[in-house]
Amino acid sequence: MDAAATIANALGVVLARGFRSGLYGSVTLGVAPGLTEANYPILSSLARSGEPLSAASLAPDLGLDRSVVSRRASELIQAGLVAQQPSPRDRRQALLTLTPRGRTAIDEARRRLETVIAEHTSTWSEADRAALATLLSRFTATPLAATETEDSTHEGVG
């Protein structure tokens, strides 16, 4: 198997719903009421962005339909982890932003995620861990060609 096929297979495992559910389930369990493996990617994307975003803006990056993002964001709003405000440019559009509780929750979930990754790679050499970090960062630095449609309903990663 050539390198591209090996990478594709490995990414398929990482992107598979079962893998993500297990990972997100373990890092979100008990972090904050209302934070689930399903809505974790929304909270994580908002944290990565650092700025308020609409459900429509989040949807393509998460690989989810806007209506799915809106439903999951509503769960986070009800839990007090995300706030919603009208856009200053278009009052009809709602922008989502982390609340202080949301920031605390995502910081804890990410700390747990880092711990899981550190444990999973604990038998690797430091050079191998550093190489994976460098190469994954380089791979994700350039977006792949957009191939998703607006009505895509597969689960996104966070």
Q: For 86-96, how does the pLDDT look when each residue is reduced to its tens digit (9 = 90+)?
A: 988 888 889 99
Q: For 106-129, how does the pLDDT look when each residue is reduced to its tens digit (9 = 90+)?
A: 999 999 999 999 999 999 999 999
Percent of all residues in the chain with a pLDDT value above 70, rounded to a whole number: 91
The predicted model gives 65-78 an average pLDDT of 95
Query: Which residue in 22, 24, 46 sits closest to 35, CA to CA?
Result: 24
Residue 129 CB coordination number (10 Å): 14
- Average pLDDT over the chain, rounded to whole? 88
For the stretch 86-122, what's the b/e string if a residue is b when 16 or more beta carbons lie within 10 angstroms of its beta carbon? Answer: eeeeeeeebbbbbeebbeebbebbbebbeeeeeeeee
Query: Is the separation of the CB atoms in 15 and 157 below 8 Å?
Result: yes
> Does this model's pTM top 0.85?
no
Residue 68 has pLDDT above 80, yes or no: yes
Query: Which residue in 45, 33, 24 sits closest to 105, CA to CA?
Result: 33
The predicted model gives 29-58 an average pLDDT of 94
